[in-house]
Amino acid sequence: MSGAEKGKGTGSAKSAPKDGTKDGTPTGTHTKAKVGNPNRAFRIEKVVVNIGVGEAGERMVKASSVLKMITGRTSVQTLSKTTNKDLGIRKGMPIGQKVTLRRKAAEDFFKTAMWVRGNRIADYSFDQDGNCSFGVADYTDFPNQRYDPEIGIFGMSLSVSFTRPGKRVHTRRRAARRIPETHRINPKEAKAFLREKYGIEVVE
């Protein structure tokens, strides 16, 4: 029996390759030199990891624990923005937990999450600004995480935002300006960026 066969069914925690790929093979590169104009190069701005619970109480506490385990960060509550009588939700009611990661922490977590998904993402996951969202079925899919019967099963959604130099022109408090259409990130550019830098397959 091979080593791979012996490892099956042992319940051991998984560990991801450092480069974020499924099999550890090298991925493409995306450098400023290759892009040409450094002001056209872009990067991951932030990753928001969210677990929707729908109610306050014990499950809210467990969701916070799950996010702490997989991100190493303390989560904050998400509040309902509307009232929905059919779902028993009122405006301002706690309905989930989220963690926002930025810079290197965001990129590292994104690589791990894509490794969990086999480095594949659906084409419909991208919005008109090139940002993308996808889900992970359970926290135990992440490396070094084991199932805890006291916690149960918790899935989560991830929202990934991209940015390029010049965005501050639009967000700054004084003399804010509109970013030209030609400088905005579109879905086609975002997909090419993920394919080239992270070796991710975009599934049509």
pLDDT at 159: 92
Q: What is the mean pLDDT of the chain?
A: 77
What is the per-residue pLDDT for 158? 92
Find the mean pLDDT for residues 91-95. 80
pLDDT value at residue 10 = 47
Q: What spatial distance separates the first Cα and last Cα of the chain, rounded to whole Å? A: 38
Measured CA to CA, the distance from residue 42 to residue 107 in angstroms comes to: 12
| Residue range 92-103: mean pLDDT, rounded | 87
Rounded Cα distance, 199 and 185, in Å: 19
Cα gap 50→128, rounded to integer Å: 21
The CA-based angle 20-68-126, given to 5 degrees, is: 50
Query: How far is residue 132's CA from residue 140's CA, in Å, rounded to a whole number?
Result: 22
| CATH no., domain 28-203 | 3.30.1440.10
* Per-residue pLDDT, 110: 92
- Give the C-alpha separation, 68 to 172, whole Å: 31
Structure confidence at residue 24 (pLDDT):
46
* Residue 126 per-residue DSSP state: B
Residues 189-196 have a mean pLDDT of 86
Q: What is the pLDDT of residues 46-76, one digit of tens each?
A: 999 999 887 778 888 899 999 999 898 998 8
pLDDT at 29: 38
Taking alpha carbons only, the member of 135, 201, 198 closest to residue 162 is 198
pLDDT, position 109: 92
- Mean pLDDT comparison of 23-32, 50-59, 103-112, 143-152, highest-scoring range: 103-112
At 179, list the tokens: 């970013």
